């Protein structure tokens, strides 16, 4: 009986320590998860979270969420899928098995048989989602063209004066249209489009946004040759700090 009481006491102490160290940080932050060749990011403000893309179906997004969210938190307030390519949405099914997703947004319907994925809320330019502190303003698309990457959601995530341009897999043609419409401005951080593909991150985009940091979500030794040399050279010439998930793993950004 004495041993049982001792072990019970130790268990309670360990449980208390787990709860203390799992307590959500008050510091708003964004984590670009190392999901391999794909995109997946989490915005965290206290116990509120927004996920932007879920990476491929390889378990990496679940790992990232379990690392940064308290173990008892099984609710995600917002999930946004920029487009339905598997490297951006493949992890969604498993995620929805583990977490309750309050609001699911996407650019268009999915062909998945999961009811929530079949009927997400669609985002178009001019709309703003988020919370009282976090705003995600949608810049594109204004409508659906049927060309997959051109229809990818592009938006500016802001917290106070901090601005992060989330490009999804949008093409240089989309960047050009946004520049013409004067929807782009100076950004603190650029989430590089399409893992550093040569089809995006044009010089025009960099001239307008002049980011201090570029985040490249990309798989190590991927078969596509991402990020491409031309994109890396453009960023280097602009003296933009580059951070790559294939080199440093999860990339954490404080929103302040």
Q: Name the DSSP class of 24.
A: P
The reported pLDDT for the residue numbered 12 is 46
Can you tell me whether residue 132 is helix, strand or coil? coil
Average pLDDT over residues 214-220: 98
Cα 87 to Cα 183: distance, rounded to the nearest angstrom: 27
Cα 82 to Cα 105: distance, rounded to the nearest angstrom: 8
The reported pLDDT for the residue numbered 118 is 60
The 10s digit of each residue's pLDDT in 72-90 is 999 999 999 999 999 999 9
The 10s digit of each residue's pLDDT in 162-210 is 999 999 999 999 999 999 999 999 999 999 999 999 999 999 999 999 9
Query: Residue 9 above 70 pLDDT?
Result: no
pLDDT band of 63, cuts 50, 70, 90: very high
Could you tell me if 226 and 218 are in contact, meaning their C-beta atoms sit under 8 angstroms apart? yes
Could you tell me if 207 and 185 are in contact, meaning their C-beta atoms sit under 8 angstroms apart? no
Q: Which of 247, 253, 245, 256 is nearest to 37 (CA)?
A: 245
Task: Find residue 76's DSSP bridge partners.
Answer: 101
The reported pLDDT for the residue numbered 111 is 77
Q: Which of 137, 146, 132 is nearest to 164 (CA)?
A: 137
Cα 167 to Cα 47: distance, rounded to the nearest angstrom: 26
Average pLDDT over residues 204-226: 98
pLDDT band of 15, cuts 50, 70, 90: very low
Average pLDDT over residues 140-156: 94
CA end-to-end span of the chain, whole Å? 53
The 10s digit of each residue's pLDDT in 90-100 is 999 999 999 99
Query: Residue 1 above 90 pLDDT?
Result: no
Containing 182, the helix (H) or strand (E) segment is none
Cα 146 to Cα 162: distance, rounded to the nearest angstrom: 33
- Torsion region of 144: left, alpha or beta (phi above 0 gives left; psi -120 to 50 gives alpha): beta
The 10s digit of each residue's pLDDT in 109-143 is 887 756 566 678 999 999 999 999 999 999 999 99
Query: Residue 14 above 80 pLDDT?
Result: no
| CA dist list (Å): 129 to 21, 61, 77 | 30, 22, 11
- Please give the domain boundaries of the chain with CATH numbers for all domains: 26-254 (3.60.15.10)
The 10s digit of each residue's pLDDT in 16-33 is 444 444 445 678 999 999
């Amino acid at each position: 009986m004495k041993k049982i009481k001792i072990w019970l006491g130790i268990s309670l102490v360990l449980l208390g320590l787990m709860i203390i160290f799992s307590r959500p940080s008050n510091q708003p932050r964004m984590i670009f998860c190392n999901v391999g060749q794909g995109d997946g990011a989490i915005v965290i403000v206290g116990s509120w979270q927004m996920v932007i893309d879920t990476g491929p179906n390889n378990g990496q997004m679940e790992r990232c969420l379990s690392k940064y969210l308290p173990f008892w938190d099984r609710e995600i307030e917002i999930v946004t899928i920029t487009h339905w390519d598997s490297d951006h949405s493949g992890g969604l099914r498993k995620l929805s098995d583990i977490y309750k997703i309050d609001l699911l947004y996407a650019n268009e319907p999915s062909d998945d048989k999961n009811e929530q994925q079949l009927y997400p809320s669609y985002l178009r330019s001019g709309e703003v989602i988020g919370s009282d502190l976090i705003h995600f303003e949608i810049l594109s698309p204004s409508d659906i063209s049927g060309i997959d990457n051109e229809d990818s959601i592009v938006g500016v995530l802001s917290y106070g004066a901090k601005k992060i341009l989330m490009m999804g897999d949008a093409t240089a043609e989309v960047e050009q249209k946004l520049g013409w419409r004067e929807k782009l401005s100076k950004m603190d951080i650029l989430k590089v489009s399409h893992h550093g593909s040569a089809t995006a991150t044009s010089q025009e985009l960099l001239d307008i946004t002049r980011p201090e940091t570029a985040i490249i979500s990309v798989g190590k030794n991927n078969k596509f040759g991402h990020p491409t040399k031309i994109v890396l050279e453009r960023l280097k010439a602009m003296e933009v700090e580059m951070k790559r998930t294939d080199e440093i793993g999860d990339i954490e950004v404080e929103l302040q």
